Amino acid sequence: MSEMFDQIKKRRTFAIISHPDAGKTTLTEKFLLYGGVINQAGSVKGKATAKHAVSDWMDIEKERGISVTSSVLQFEFGGCCINILDTPGHQDFSEDTYRTLMAADSAVMVIDAGKGVEAQTRKLFKVCAMRHIPVFTFINKMDREARDSFDLLDEIEKELGIPTCPVNWPIGSGKQFRGVYERESGQIELFEDTMKGTRVGTVKRIPLDDPEVSDYVEEDALELLREEIELLDGASAEFDQELVDAGELSPVFFGSALMNFGVETFLNHFLKMTTSPLPRTSDQGVIDPMEEEEFSAFVFKIQANMNKAHRDRVAFMRICSGEFDAGMDAWHVQGGKKVRLSQPQQMMANGRKMIERAYGGDIIGIFDPGIFSIGDTITSSGNKYAYEGIPTFAPEHFARVRQVDTMKRKQFIKGINQIAQEGAIQIFQEYNTGMEEIIVGVVGVLQFDVLIYRLRNEYNVEILLDKLPYEHIRWVENKDIDIRELRGTSDMKKVKDLKGRPLLLFINSWSIGMTLDRNEGLVLSEFGRE
């Protein structure tokens, strides 16, 4: 038993969040290089013959050079077993991105040093804040022209509302980038060409007060550094592990993922500052993986047709406690029956590794014959408790969908329902109409392209999309209100979701307030709860 707890203690499970092009995929690949999982990094951009990034696997991703789905990657480093949940970084990301954060214990926020905090980062940070999970900031691309470092910290604090604590500090940027000063040790790490694609390359460390420093860094740059350190010591928040654990202080690191500078330092500090898998709340109280011996997990993602040859469907589970053994029997709480957890696998982009055993903190994919839904709890047969449900996040774009060939109605309904069950899209129906009228809602507009692509390639169905002007959606929380009697605004549409829950769509945000004023006691929510 102690071996199981030792294994769980070694686990670190985090998600990487960023705006497009901040360098998240490059950073992920450098992590894998340090973990010895790959020998050379792929490149996202480039000609058709170029290597594709390791964490991109769907055809549409390879065509566009973006991450549409979330990959799960595992590697060992510094005596720990690390699970990375790689989330889509494209501006047209999906609800899948939000949900992935539900399976992580911490997040690494990648920020472009030349651009600062961008729209995507704000959205993803909101979900981290909602869950109070620790957020670590990696300010990337210091080898290019960067904004003032103090301005970047100020922007993070103002835009995201979280204090920052720089662990290291950059010496110059762009062509003048010389390295970083590590505040705790008082040493300078010198930037040299560290061989972009491989681990080869050396980082020289010298104490700041060593006379040899002037051989590597110009005197005016050193003078500026000393002034900035003095400013930092007086103005920035002090490091406080408890605040970091509560998601109320973000440690900040500077570096260049592309040039492989600052990545190893970041990993070492990250492992010291993060803990083993966190306890989770269930309807029977808190389940602590360091105390609970029995197996438990929840489903946070479902992906169909990962292998076109097999038409398979995989349920991704976050193991919360205990030990998983291949082929074990478990209790599916929502289904109310025993299930066999077969064909367990861990994903490495388009590669899969069948596994025999996994532990609390790990992410596994299980063959799903169509019985699992997002948010479901699976436990050892004796324990029947349910973890908190995963919220349904509000879509931001809507379209009416119809199939081109009316003879393919059956395939169309099957396909659109399966894709909706995965959580990539949400389906709504207008009140008082049948399945003839389907409205699709997505978090990012790229999901419309993914829907067209997948229906054509996986279900042989062509569809037409008519974009709708709605931008705001609210779930009706009241159980006792007849939605047909609601008095709304002229830009409001009444719909219901797949579970029959009533929702309201609005074109203008001010219409939400007017609708609340016109219907006493009405309660509207920004995301749906189970």
Contact 255, 178 (CB under 8 A): no
pLDDT number for residue 351: 56
Domain extents for the chain?
2-273, 280-379, 397-525
pTM comes to: 0.81
CB-count burial class (<10 Å; 0-12, 13-18, 19+) for 86: buried
- Name the CATH superfamily housing domain 280-379: Translation factors (2.40.30.10)
Q: Does domain 2-273 have CATH number 3.30.420.40?
A: no
Residue 52 buriedness (CB in 10 A; 0-12 / 13-18 / 19+):
middle
**Given this model, what pLDDT does residue 97 score?**
75
Instruction: Return the axis-axis angle of helices 95-102 and 119-131, rounded to nearest 10°.
Output: 30
Scan for tokens 């000609």, then name that residue. 47
Radius of gyration in angstroms for the set of CA atoms belonging to the chain, rounded to a whole number: 24
Q: What's the full length of the chain, in residues?
A: 530
Res 61: pLDDT: 47
Q: In the chain, helix, strand, coil percent, each to 5?
A: 25, 30, 45
Helix (H, G, I), strand (E, B) or coil at 52: coil
Can you give the pLDDT at residue 322? 94
> In this predicted structure, what is the pLDDT of residue 315?
86
Q: Average pLDDT per run of 10 along the chain, which is 530 residues long?
A: 88 88 81 71 37 45 42 82 76 70 92 87 83 94 92 93 94 88 90 56 80 87 91 86 94 91 90 92 92 92 63 83 91 91 66 79 87 91 82 86 89 88 84 72 85 89 94 89 87 87 92 94 79
Element housing 439 (H / E): strand 438-442
Residue 149, pLDDT score: 94
CA-based torsion, 32, 36, 37, 41: positive or negative: positive
Second-level CATH architecture of 397-525: 2-Layer Sandwich (3.30)
* pLDDT the model gives residue 485: 86
Q: What is the pLDDT of residue 269?
A: 94
